[in-house]
Structure 1
Amino acid sequence: MTARRAGGFAYIAAIVFLVVLAGFALAALRLSGTAQATVDQALLGARAGQAARAGLEWAFFRLKTPDADCAVVTSGPDFVAETGYRVKLTCKKTPYGEGQTPTGDPLVKNIYQITATACNGATCPATDNATVAGPDYIERVRSASICITKAGDACY
């Protein structure tokens, strides 16, 4: 009787080991890609938030001129060159009287509700579903109020 060599088991073990190792490599690659996409989205979101904040700051500056109205805000500049994001500003003015000045004139104060929408689409906010569903579309909205007297001073 002749002895038969048992050498096939090592080949099967090596193939199983390589398949498992390839699976781990593929999982690590997918995880790395997902992590990178998450970081990219977070960075784009932070930039859009800062662009919206810049729009609010610009609006507050414009409203502090005497006899300012919402028209000076909504017809503002486009921030694409500076930030890479379009910023749309909306303004709502609510006037109210608060007594009189020391000279006897009525003291009128205005509350301005400003909303800044920043996005990296062609129009802001995006109106079509194809743009909104895009993987790189980012939109952030910030809103703030400010009280300014008719003379352009801050309310106290």
Structure 2
Amino acid sequence: MKRFHTNAHRQAGFAYIAAIVLLVVVAGMAAGLLRLTGTQQSTVNQALLGAKAGLAARAGIEWGFVSCLSTSGTTDLGQFKTDTGFNVSVNCQFTNYQEGERASGQTSISQTKRIVQITAIACNGSTARCPDAGSVASADYVERARTATVCMVVEPGGTFSSCET
């Protein structure tokens, strides 16, 4: 009878070891799943911030279509920070061309066209100017840039019309 009791005691010890190993494996899997979930949430957050920054940059381009026809330079749109959470910097550059000018310099048939290049950069940095070099190292910094080019005809009197007429 003693022999039977010894075998039962050995089997009970093995069950404890198996239970501990099983708990360690399950805990490791749970920790891995938690880490994967955290990474996935961070990825989704970055994608959402990127989409918002892209839309803020697009709004900067639309602002530029209205405001950049006669001025050049960079403008920081502070009101966008309040509305969107993103700083937007819009850079406007333009060049005038004489279309139809003859080699002799006669301009009686020429038409002045203005090519306007608008670049809008949106970022969620701490300064009003984008890009923000000081905030690039932060984990949630997002920056998007959009560029658009528009052709305008300079009419007599300084008014503008589209080149596509």
Given that 1:63 and 1:152 are in contact with CA atoms closer than 8 Å, whether structure 2 keeps it comes out as no
TM-score (structure 1 length as normaliser): 0.85
TM-score (structure 2 length as normaliser): 0.81
Q: Identify unmatched segments of 5+ residues in structure 1.
A: none
The Cα shift of 1:127 comes to 2.6
**Secondary structure of the residue that 1:137 maps to in structure 2?**
coil
Q: How many residues align?
A: 146
Hey, what does 2:126 align to over in structure 1? 122
Q: CA RMSD for the aligned pairs?
A: 1.8
Larger-gyration structure (1/2): 2
Aligned sequence identity (%): 50
Matched, 1:10 2:18: no
Structure with more relative contact order (C-alpha pairs < 8 Å, separation 6 or more): 1
Matches within 5 A, 1:64-83: 68-70=70-72, 74-75=74-75, 77-78=77-78, 79-83=80-84
Q: Distance between the aligned counterparts of 2:24 and 2:76, measured in 1?
A: 60
After superposing on structure 2, the runs of 4+ consecutive aligned residues of structure 1 that deviate more than 6 Å are none
Q: Distance between the aligned counterparts of 1:143 and 1:30, measured in 2?
A: 38
Q: Identify unmatched segments of 5+ residues in structure 2.
A: 102-107
Matches within 5 A, 1:1-156: 2-3=2-3, 4=6, 5=8, 6=10, 7-63=12-68, 68-70=70-72, 74-75=74-75, 77-78=77-78, 79-99=80-100, 106-123=110-127, 124-128=130-134, 131-150=135-154, 151-156=159-164
